[in-house]
Structure formats: C-alpha cells, structure tokens
Amino acid sequence: MSTVKGILAQKGGTLIHVRPGEMVAEALQKMRDNRVRAVLVIDDGALAGIVTLGDCAIKVLLPGLDAKKTPVDDVMTCNPVTVKPGDPLDGCMAMMVERGYRHLPVVDVGKVVGIISIGEVVKNTIRDLELNVNDLMGHIMADGPGG
C-alpha cells in the first residue's frame, strides 16, 4: 500500500511557500514559476495555512481587489487539515473526495515537509492498481487453464 511518503520522495525536497504577510501576487508568481496550484503559508516554521489558485480568483479577482496589495493571510485557508508521511494514500484520497480538498499539507512531528495533490494521489493509486493487475495476470498465466 502506497503512502504519502512515496509521493514526497518522487517530488524532491523543495517546499514552495509564502509568509502570511506577503502579497497574493507573490503567491501567484510562485504558483506560476513552479507550475503548482497551491502554496503553503508558513509562519516561523509552522504551518499557518494554504492558499490556492481558486482562493486567489474567488477572494481577490472577483471582488476586484489588487493582488499586489492584498496579503495572503486575508485569503488563505487557516489551519488546514494535514496528513503525515506514513498515511496511506487510499485514506487521503477518500478524505480529499469527501471534503472536496485538492491539496493536503504534509506535517511530520510538527514540521511541514510537503504538500500532496489529488492528481498525485490518483496517479499513484492507478499505478498501484496496474501493478496488482499485472501480478494477478502473471499468477493466472503461470497456473495455466483450469488452475
């Protein structure tokens, strides 16, 4: 069974984040530059929140606010639900689907270590299913017709 740790290992160690007082424009630039749709908001090493592309569009663009003058902490989701590196991906996927989350921050013993997305979880789950199917096909073919 795959865990959050496996996704983090595939991504490398870069933690894309902003501070609460930074402007939304800075968060958007980091999203663009790193081709992600969410960044963590970290204050003095602790997770303060998460800000997504959707947050920026709905809470800044639609009301006509200036992204260069709007601080991230005005639009972020505070105290987001987190997962641990050892958590199984099937549980993460169920929570993401049930609660409508697209991103989950990963915290290990109080330290922010990364973020996972629903796309990454789905890709890993599909890969695991394909491996299981291939294993089963190998057993079936090895036994031959009639077992």
Q: What is the CATH number of the domain that holds 87?
A: 3.10.580.10
Q: Write the CA distances from 64 to 55, 59, 82, 92, integer angstroms.
A: 13, 9, 31, 35
* Residues contacting 123, CB < 8 A, separation 6+: none
Using CA atoms, how far apart are residues 8 and 24, in angstroms rounded to an integer?
A: 26
Q: What is the CA radius of gyration of the chain?
A: 19
- The per-residue pLDDT for 3 is 94
Amino acid at 6: G
What pairs with residue 77 in β-bridges?
50
Range of the domain at 83: 4-143
Q: What is the pLDDT of the chain when averaged over all its residues?
A: 92
- The band of 99, judged by pLDDT with boundaries at 50, 70 and 90, is very high
* Number of folded domains that form the chain: 1
- The band of 115, judged by pLDDT with boundaries at 50, 70 and 90, is very high
